[in-house]
Chains A and B, each alone.
Chain A
Amino acid sequence: MSEITPDLVRHLANLARIDVTDQEVDLFAGQLGLIVDSMAAIKEAVAGDVPATSHPIPMANVYREDVVEPSLTQAQALSAAPDSADGRFRVHAILDEE
């Protein structure tokens, strides 16, 4: 039986900052339940001592020369923003009034 309940979907959607309708919650709970159930076998596959691979071709300490290169101007960086003011991105209140 799936562990993906409608309440869990609501919680995850909230963590991911996506409003979801009741209809979406029911749909996703069913679909994600099936998907997660189908993945259960993966736990058996790696029962032994197997190292994890996060990147297919490992590379470490990739740095470029520490020299100044051209980059976007402030105007360019702001040009696609939904709202800006005084050379900054303008957003709604970060904190609730309460």
Chain B
Amino acid sequence: MSELIYKNASELAQMLQKGEVSSVELTQAHLDRTAAVDGAVHSYLHVGPEAALAAAKDVDRRRAAGEKLHELAGLPIAVKDNLTTTDAPTTSGSKILEGWIPQYDSTVVKKLREAGMPILGKTNLDEFAMGSSTEFSAYGPSKNPWDLGRIPGGSGGGSSSVVASFQAPLAIGSDTGGSIRYPAFVTGTVGTKPTYGAVSRYGLIALASSLDQVGPVSRNVLDAALLQDVIAGHDPHDSTSLPESLGSMTEAAKKLDVKGMRIGVIKQLSGEGFQPEVSARFNESLELLKNAGAEIVEVSCPSFEYAIAAYYLILPAEASSNLAKFDSVRFGLRVTPEGAPTIERVMAATREAGFGPEVKRRIILGTYALSSGYYDAYYGAAQKVRTLIQRDFEAAFAKADVLVSPTAPATAFKFGEKLEDPLAMYLNDIATIPANLAGIPGMAIPNGIAENNMPSGIQLLAPAREDARLYQVGAVLEKMHEEVWGKRMIDFAPMLEVKN
């Protein structure tokens, strides 16, 4: 197995620039790794060696010809399977889209191609990104590389496990209520949900349009910064895309200074409900930040108590509307019942056969929340809670530059543990959801080993458009962690058994 795969993306990018390694060599090394371990990990729904190697070859040729290339040109990457790709199937983890090859590339994929980054394959997710474990993928769950009997987080468990098992140096995720950050927490990796609108959603199969955001998945903070700089920027194809640039995340990650910064600890996201070791690791990191010259303050966000309820009304409401497009007419599955059915009967039979249990549950819940007589009591109230949460953040950010909390209450659980109990599953998102409701950026970084000898993580939050602060603080904390631990968090993960 090539040692190359264990390096950070930033290092690999420099090796490519200096000609110390070719993109073909690097891409092949990752494809070999996938052949060896993905039978056990199941990060991918689709691996595309031919397309990836062709893109790699093209970059190598252009570099040899002296063409000026993007900083990350030649660096391979994995993409979550809810982003459209014209050269690979896009299923969003659902049977209703099995075998669909989209007619257009998502903007994020287009930007990766323009940067010359070979796409290795499409990563697994809970069906339509609804879940916290990948157990709701119609194609079977991904496994946590730290313990194959435990969940890799969700919905982006394919993207978290693909970087945690060294099958890709970088991956793309999407985060509607924590689908980038929770998987990062349980796999000892890094993931950022940028400010709403910082990255285009064009070609992202929508779950909840007012909450969805695409972002980077990596093994360290600088790598995530490099990737966010590739995929961010205004897109006329997305009417919610921010018109202004948020600046360079890479520069922010290289500042390595937090002196005088005010770090706010969110009172409601600590203590009760959070595992003791997760909390202990969190408090240790606060000490580190204090030692680095940051000021620790406490902030209170009382409306967070209602965040999960608001989220699980808004999300299903928007999802029930977004998923109406899967109607057996223009693309995807069609199931025709016997007799002479009308189109409505065909639609209902198709959606019964094509959707899994969590998707049905949420569509039915969303239909309920939006139906007349209940609209004001539920959906209307949820939208008001959203305002209260934004106000809580405003007050908190008046006292602090960056807010912190554990990314989630508990380390990775075992498969099947929460499958029959939707409410228990939803509680995993308690710390990540408020950022989506308010549209602010959030980052999860590794924070040491906690309960069951599994990774834990710390979440950083910044005001809208201030994503750079996350990278600035995250990089400092990561550097201090590596000094204390003597190695990277991911280097604590057990070696996977490799099939040759």
Contacts and interface: CB of A to CB of B under 8 A. Distances in A.
Contacts of A26: none
A18 B355 contact: yes
A53 B383 contact: yes
12 contacts: A32-B368, A42-B306, A43-B377, A46-B384, A46-B385, A50-B387, A52-B386, A59-B197, A80-B102, A91-B329, A91-B346, A94-B342
Contact of B310 (A9, A42, A57): A42
Contact of A28 (B101, B348, B360, B436): B360
Nearest to A51: B387
A75 B303 CA distance: 51
A12 B312 CA distance: 17
Dominant secondary structure of chain A at its interface with chain B? loop
B371 interface: yes
A72 B102 CA distance: 11
A80 B351 contact: no
A42 B310 CA distance: 7
B381 A32 contact: no
Given A39-B312, A96-B342, A17 B327 contact: yes
A41 interface: yes
Q: Which of A12, A20, A38, A45: most chain B Cβ within 10 A?
A: A45
Interface in A1-37: 4, 8-9, 12-20, 24, 27-28, 31-32, 34-36
B194 to A, nearest CB: 12
Contacts of A64: 236
B206 to A, nearest CB: 14
A10 to B, nearest CB: 10
A87 interface: no
A50 B384 contact: yes
A56 B387 CA distance: 9
Nearest to B213: A56
In the complex, the 4 A-B pairs of residues with the closest C-beta atoms, listed nearest first: A56-B439, A82-B334, A52-B383, A19-B352
B426 to A, nearest CB: 8
Contacts of A43: 377, 381
A22 to B, nearest CB: 13
B464 interface: yes
B492 to A, nearest CB: 36
Interface residues of A, number: 54
Interface in B110-124: none
A19 B344 CA distance: 10
Interface residues of B, number: 74
Contacts of A32: 361, 364-365, 368
Interface in B329-365: 329-334, 336, 340-349, 351-352, 355, 357, 360-361, 363-365
Contacts of B360: 13, 18, 20, 24, 28
A35 B384 CA distance: 19
B381 A57 contact: no
A85 interface: no
A93 B340 contact: yes
Contact of B303 (A45, A52, A59): A45
B363 A18 contact: yes
Given A35-B312, A43-B377, A46-B388, 8 more contacts: A13-B364, A46-B384, A53-B387, A55-B240, A55-B439, A57-B240, A72-B103, A92-B341
B346 A31 contact: no
B410 to A, nearest CB: 19
A97 interface: yes
Interface in B185-205: 195-197
Nearest to B391: A50
Contacts of B371: 12, 15
B310 A52 contact: no
Given A20-B360, A83-B334, A53 B386 contact: yes
Interface string A70-98: 00100011011111000001011111110
B395 interface: no
A96 B341 CA distance: 8
B413 interface: no
A16 B342 CA distance: 16
Which of A50, A51, A94 neighbours the largest number of chain B CB atoms within 10 Å of its CB?
A: A50
Given A56-B437, A81-B331, A91 B383 contact: no
A57 B197 contact: yes
A62 interface: yes
Contacts of A27: 357
B363 A59 contact: no
A53 B365 contact: no
B49 interface: no
Given A52-B380, A96-B342, A81 B330 contact: yes
A92 B342 contact: yes
Tell me which of A18, A28, A39, A89 has the highest count of chain B C-beta atoms within 10 A of its own C-beta: A18
B328 A82 contact: yes
